[in-house]
Structure 1
Amino acid sequence: MAPQNQQAFFNFIKTQLPPHLSLVDEIADLLNISMDSAYRRIRGEKAIDFEEIQKLASHYKLSLDQFLHLSSNAILFSDRSLNANSAFQFDQYLKALIQDLTYMNSFEQKMLYYLNKDVPIFHHFAFPELAAFKCFFWRKSIVHDPTFATKRFLLEEHVDIFKEASTKISDLYATMPSLEVWNMESINSTIRQIEYYRDTQTFAKQKDIKVVYEGLLKAVERIEGFAETGKKHTTTACGLPSGDYQIYINEFILGDNTIMVHLDGAKVVYINHAVHNYMLTKDERFCDFTNDHFQNIIKRSTPISIVNEKERKKFFFRTKEKVLSRLAGL
């Protein structure tokens, strides 16, 4: 790698590190070399070999195209998929969410953008009953976990299983400044999932249907509170700061659950696939393209956090009414 490309390579790695981490320390530890050797590689005085390039690119999930000036359209993604045929377990899926949110929150300048198709995944975890239902639904009906094949949903069996992880996810997201783009359809998928289990008698107890709907209603009311103040709040007295909250409404575009994160000038994009799975990339070209897409949608959407009280009340009234009408029909 040419010295100038090597310097650019290490400069980019530096943008991926939280402020409290030293680039030199990271490189020295990862490559098992001295601090002096790490400095010489970072300055381009000593060429990094192929094995070192491979190790660094793999660890930081980087595509080399931009540093080697290749014209390839290939983009490197790191997959975070949960399926019944892998050793990747659901508790690991939740731990990965915690790790990602912890990483994001470690930066000084940070912002998470969420283009909703559904209610953003993080909001479910503030309410154990709703989180238990969503986790059960994903495992039984999406992942097709064989151990769930004949199971019916019994709230008391599942509500405490991932409670600690759920609370952690909820609080970490409440700390992260975020902007969400909603559509009136965003609530519908969760409602349909509840209705499907009701119609197929997958709920073991009739009263659990009501409890799950009430959890969904509480989640919407909590989000409405965030929108009124422009601030999120944690579910526990954990001492974490409140993250700024912006919500936009777009009547014409239903999102695809893409997440984009700005971290001290760097960007990371999470692409949703297969309902609840994500793959991420730090590829500069792709992230810049996604950023432009987000900004265009935001310009064509209506902000309802703090401002536009009439539009905010109308949106949340209509959203809550969808849940309340189902509760009334039980």
Structure 2
Amino acid sequence: MTISSNTQAQFFQSLKHTIPSYASLVDEVAETLNVSMDSAYRRIRGEKLLDFEELRILCQRFNVSLDKFFSMNSNSIQFQGRLNTYHEDAFQLWMEDVLAQLSLVNSFSHRHVYFLVKDMPPFHHYYHPALASFKFFFWMKSILYYDSLKNEKFAISDNLYSRYQELTQKILKVYLKVPTSEIWNEEGLTTTIRQIEVYHEMGLIKNPQDTITLYHCLLEVIDHLEKMAETGKKSMFGQTPTEESAEYRLFLNEIVLGDNTFMAEIGDTKITYLNHSVLYFVGSVDQKFNESMFRNLENLMKKSTLISGTGEKERKQFFNKLRKKVQAKISLVEV
């Protein structure tokens, strides 16, 4: 089996978008196929057509699908992603995948990530160790169904964060270097608030004081988000932006409830990630699909209020509303 030189050129172009900008496609191809640099160049230029076995090896190495290249005029849209593996290192693998995806985005000089927020993006939970510990516990117990946590209850003192601290800090450091636009509304905190509330009501938080502490941690994260929005720059928790801090744009849309879609713009390519199974995402580099998604995001931002770096009144009103949601829950626990 062989493919046309035109289709082969498109295939190699898609491979190029899966490697960091500093990496060499010809080096990667030569090493993967165990051929000379000249032979790799000839394949990339379409002078030598790939055979079926070479296609299989390259697809496996670069984790791409050939489907879209053999159905160029169809309405199909190809996605790739990780599925829930339901074993005890699933969360570790998920975190490593998040780091790999962010690192790939950050490797490009032109890069930007757009979030259509339904739930507060996971990175913002990482700012506070106690809040991160709770989210890690919740994800592993209620989403990934860890057998080891089946009969366990959450306690801040268990410090689950410490087990993933190094990986979490790596993710945060890369995330803070990537320019980001987020489209929020008041419901962006609802999921996290509800998770804390339900665990408290079910007795899955050992000490009621921990519930109150978690809500206060959430208030501190809200304070930090407001400071980032005010400066229009990302920063580590409790710190001011540095020269490496990336742009942070926050939009308020009071009509549209997001769906946790996010798009990465890298170089001249866009990748859309759609949420599934709560934690996981599938991504597509389909050009027509991504351009359509990007136009939708652009329209949403145009119809939203930019509250980062400007719009002080709207910004203060928005964050005060978020605080009131959390404070109302604190009052119920303290009664």
TM-score normalised according to structure 2 size = 0.91
C-alpha displacement at 1:212, in angstroms? 1.1
The number of equivalent residue pairs is 329
Q: Give CA deviations for 1:268-290 in whole Å, capped at 9, x if unaligned.
A: 11111121121222222322222
Q: 5+ residue gaps in structure 1?
A: none
1:131 match: secondary structure: helix
The CA deviation at 1:56 is 2.5
Distance, in Å, in 2 between the alignment partners of 1:296 and 1:271 is: 19
Where do residues 127-138 of structure 1 align in structure 2 (5 Å cutoff)? 127-138=128-139
Letter in 1 for 2:64: L
| The one of 14, 37, 40 aligned to 1:38 | 40
1:183 corresponds to which letter in structure 2?
A: N
Structure 1 counterpart of 2:213, which letter?
V
State whether residues 19 and 104 of structure 2, in contact with CA within 8 Å, keep that contact through their aligned partners in structure 1.
Answer: no
Kindly indicate whether the alpha-carbon contact (under 8 Å) linking 1:175 and 1:234 is maintained by their aligned counterparts in 2.
no
Amino acid at match of 1:312: R
Task: Render the CA deviation track for 1:120-162: whole Å, top value 9, x for unaligned.
Answer: 1111111110111011111212222222111111112123222
What percentage of residue pairs aligned between the two structures are identical?
Answer: 38
The answer (yes or no) to whether the contact 2:91–2:144 under 8 Å persists in 1 is: no
Task: Determine whether 1:312 maps to 2:315.
Answer: yes
State the secondary structure of the residue aligned to 1:271: strand
User: Relative to structure 1, is the Cα distance of residues 58 and 240 closer, same or farther in structure 2, using a 3 angstrom cutoff?
Assistant: farther
3-state DSSP of counterpart to 1:185 = helix
User: What is the rounded CA distance, in whole Å, between the counterparts of 1:113 and 1:5 in structure 2?
Assistant: 30
2:282 is aligned with 1:279: yes
Residue matched to 1:50: 52
When structure 1 is superposed on structure 2, of 147-156 and 164-173 the one drifting more is: 164-173
Q: In 2, are the aligned partners of 1:153 and 1:204 still within 8 Å (CA)?
A: yes
Residues 128 and 166 of structure 1 are in contact (CA less than 8 Å); yes or no, is this contact kept in structure 2? no
How much has 1:103 moved relative to structure 2? 1.4
Q: Distance in 2 between matches of 1:240 and 1:65?
A: 43
Runs of at least 5 residues in structure 2 that lack an aligned partner in the other structure: none
Q: Pick from 291, 298, 302 the counterpart of residue 299 of structure 1.
A: 302
1:225, 1:147 → 2: CA distance? 39
Q: 1-side partners of 2:147 and 2:40: how far apart?
A: 48
Distance 1:73 1:61, change over 3 A: farther
CA contact (8 A) 2:83 2:280 kept: yes
Once the two structures are superposed, the pairs formed by residues 38-117 of structure 1 within 5 Å of their partners are 38-68=40-70, 70-84=72-86, 86=87, 89-117=90-118
Deviation at residue 87 of structure 1 after TM alignment: 6.5
Root mean square deviation, CA, Å? 2.1
Alpha-carbon separation, structure 1, partners of 2:223 and 2:16 = 40
Supply the distance in 2 between the matched residues of 1:289 and 1:51 (Cα, whole angstroms).
Answer: 34
CA contact (8 A) 1:131 1:166 kept: no
CA distance in structure 2 between the partners assigned to 1:227 and 1:292 by the alignment: 24
Confirm or deny: 8 A CA contact 1:10 1:42 kept in the other structure: yes
